[in-house]
Structure 1
Amino acid sequence: MTNVNTTTNITVEEVQAALVQEYTSQKFEKVMVHELFGLSQPLPGLEQPIPVPVERHPLAPKVQDGYVFNEKLLRRTLLSMRTRDSIMYVGDKGTGKSSFVQQLNARLNRPVININAGPGVDESYLVGCKTIENGSVKAVDGVLSYAYRHGLTCLIDEICTLRPGVLVSINDLIQGDEVVTLKHHGIDPSLDPKMLMGLNNGMTLVRHPAFRLFATDNTGGKQQKDPRFSGVNNQNSAVRSRFTSMKVGFMPADKELAALTNTLKGGVVENVHLAMMVEFAFRFRSAFEIGEAFDNISFRELRRWALKMEVYGCIHESFMDAIYGNMEQSDQLLAEHLFEETFGQRLILDDVYTMSCADQLDAIKAITAAAA
């Protein structure tokens, strides 16, 4: 594929036309949205079929059979994609923010490139830099600028763990400007100022019509006191304003049960046990909402519990390893109480949780006395 973004002696308008021509030259099929996403009824505003590339893109995520979509979130996302919005999904851990983006693009057959943010991700990682190759200076893309140039979907997970200054530096890309000047590459002092917007100087980036930017975060870059999310940075409000921010919560109980059931498929775990697992999760989440618990229970953890139940064959051992072991001590006490309320039986824990060193001392004293 010719990189029309860096071809010399060509105008921005010609690059944009070439990108559109390149993208639309693919073979598409028209698909009803609700059928594509496994829904029973059309979504308001999305009653007409949409084009989906026929040939599977190698960077498109794998479709997860039985994935359950949040219909309202899906509708707002698809409509926002029409206007090329950058979208940030904000919500508690394990609410399915990243998996939603992956499965959305899997159904649309859109290529995705993913970034796991953190304090080590800098501007050059996102939008590139200049390097030396074979004795010559060469401009190279970062992950985000490459996606911008070639029409990939870019997903930045935990975006607010980036240093605030890094996000500010890519405001024009988040905003979705049609033409971006990569000033961080430096300016050739011999270059005529009239040529700064030319495409032969290695500084100009033209947005591909298929590019979309998604991000996920627990706090959305807002001020927060929750110690669970230490390491998350407060972000500039001007940066946040460039995103369409969508709140992602836990799925309704019936959909969470359906997703859990679809995860297993083996039939080893009885439906009544799966239903009680979901009930336990919502009991604990309710306690968290009113401040009785330190942490929440994510669907990720719930899914791990079900999978371990399928392998272990024991509701107690599977809960102990999938949920209980990661909890704060105060939450463990609450979990034992809610487990008994939900399952009608006391939680049976391994000795390492129930037997103290004093108990062991008493046991060895008894053994010693019997042997004397």
Structure 2
Amino acid sequence: MTNVLSIAQRQDQLVADYVATTEFKQVFIHELFGFDEPLKGFEDATQIPAEAHPLTPTLDPDYVFNPSLVRRALLSMAARESIMLVGDKGTGKSSFVQQLMARLNRPLLTINAGPGVDESYLLGCKTIEDGSVKNVDGMLSYAVRNGIPVLIDELCTLRPGVLVSINDILQGDNLITLKHHGIDPSIDPKSILDMDGTMSIVRHPAFRLFATDNTGGKSQKDGRFGGVNTQNSAVRSRFTSFKVTFMAPDREVLALGKASDSQLGEDTIKSMIELGFRFRAAFEQGEAFDNLSFRELKRWAKKTALYGDINEAFVDAIYTNLEAGDQILAETLFETVFGTELELTEEYSTSAGDMLDAFIGASNSAAA
């Protein structure tokens, strides 16, 4: 048989096609991500696409990056490793990946994991079209084939067996075999890659896989994260995993100021951040059921600018979502930080008994 390309040759052709159809520009990584000093390993200029892809996430110019995390993520991406970001709620795991791709002008497909995401959703299946059987890609196999990075959000809500089925993708295999395809026994093995319907996919060199999770796939007893599954240890071992924590207070002050469009005073923003860290410290010491995420602080800041009232904004953005015990803690911390009691909205000061008394009184007055 002649003119049969090897996997390496096919990947070289994919790279050549990508380079031929993409315009590039030279950038310095530290400038691209807003750092003052060059990152180790990225002192020289780097090529990235000159324009954003239609699937590139929307760039947030105010996003604050962690230099160490950016450096390690970029090096791991260069090594074509699967990357998992592990951390508490609201630490910015998903937004980190989105803004990383936005800065690099790279596309990103996000798969929101859950019990309904199965192997056929990820890798495809057989279907009927015009009376004939047709093989179609899933979200993940399509991305592998076409070189589109993928983010699987909340990985541990997937059933464990689903992740086992994509081990070849997780570990970076150059040839991915789709399980739903059959093979005609008369086919020459050298022709498998050229089969109609492509039962085997040559991994596009531009493909990358990211995942986020609160637990890292590990067994845990934290009641805050219901509906998650412990993942196979062999699956977890195929990821490079980064711990994502809350930003340092000074960085949260900067990020919160930008998120509120500088409509709040610096002292107000610092007080919000102080309350958030006091709550987190209480959580670490077992004095709170839940943590307070930057996502919630950002919502509080935005609603304060919207409402013009820091109390109402706190109640709607944070307080009402808390467990009863944590609500008591929140009131205490609010008074500690702001020097005044939290003024709850009227819904919290009106009971059914009060409304019943008022209703009966109004009825009696009308009858008299």
Q: Output the TM-score relative to the length of structure 2.
A: 0.93
Q: Does 1:298 align with 2:293?
A: yes
8 Å contact kept, 1:66–1:263? yes
In 2, Cα distance between equivalents of 1:200 and 1:367: 81
Equivalent of 2:276 in 273, 281, 305? 281
Report how many aligned residue pairs link the two structures. Answer: 363
In 2, Cα distance between equivalents of 1:133 and 1:364: 65
Amino acid at match of 2:204: H
Q: What's 1:357 paired with?
A: 352
Q: What's 1:340 paired with?
A: 335
Alignment of 1:135-150 (within 5 A): 135-150=131-146
Q: Deviations over 1:326-351 (max 9, x none)?
A: 01111000100000000000000123
Superposition RMSD in Å? 2.0
Equivalent of 1:328 in 323, 327, 340? 323
Equivalent of 1:22 in 17, 22, 30? 17
Equivalent of 2:245 in 245, 249, 265? 249
Q: What's 2:172 paired with?
A: 176
In 1, Cα distance between equivalents of 2:343 and 2:7: 68
**SS, match of residue 193 in structure 2:** coil
**SS, match of residue 185 in structure 1:** coil
Give the deviation of 1:15 after TM superposition.
1.6
Q: Does 1:85 align with 2:81?
A: yes
Amino acid at match of 1:339: F
8 Å contact kept, 1:10–1:199? no
Amino acid at match of 1:163: R
Q: Does 1:132 align with 2:132?
A: no
Give the deviation of 1:191 after TM superposition.
3.5
In 1, Cα distance between equivalents of 2:188 and 2:228: 40
8 Å contact kept, 1:11–1:199? no
Percent of aligned pairs with the same amino acid: 60
323 and 258 in structure 1: CA distance in 2 versus 1, 3 angstrom threshold: same
**SS, match of residue 272 in structure 1:** helix
List alignment gaps of at least 5 residues for structure 1. 1-7
List alignment gaps of at least 5 residues for structure 2. none
Q: Output the TM-score relative to the length of structure 1.
A: 0.92
Give the deviation of 1:58 after TM superposition.
0.9
Give the deviation of 1:133 after TM superposition.
2.0
Amino acid at match of 1:134: D
Give the deviation of 1:277 after TM superposition.
0.5
Q: What's 1:3 paired with?
A: none
In 1, Cα distance between equivalents of 2:296 and 2:334: 15
Q: Deviations over 1:267-304 (max 9, x none)?
A: 43211111101110001011011111111111111111
Q: What's 2:64 paired with?
A: 68
Alignment of 1:7-18 (within 5 A): 10-18=5-13
In 2, Cα distance between equivalents of 1:125 and 1:169: 12
Q: Deviations over 1:228-248 (max 9, x none)?
A: 111010000000000001110
**SS, match of residue 227 in structure 1:** coil
Give the deviation of 1:55 after TM superposition.
2.8
8 Å contact kept, 1:264–1:307? yes
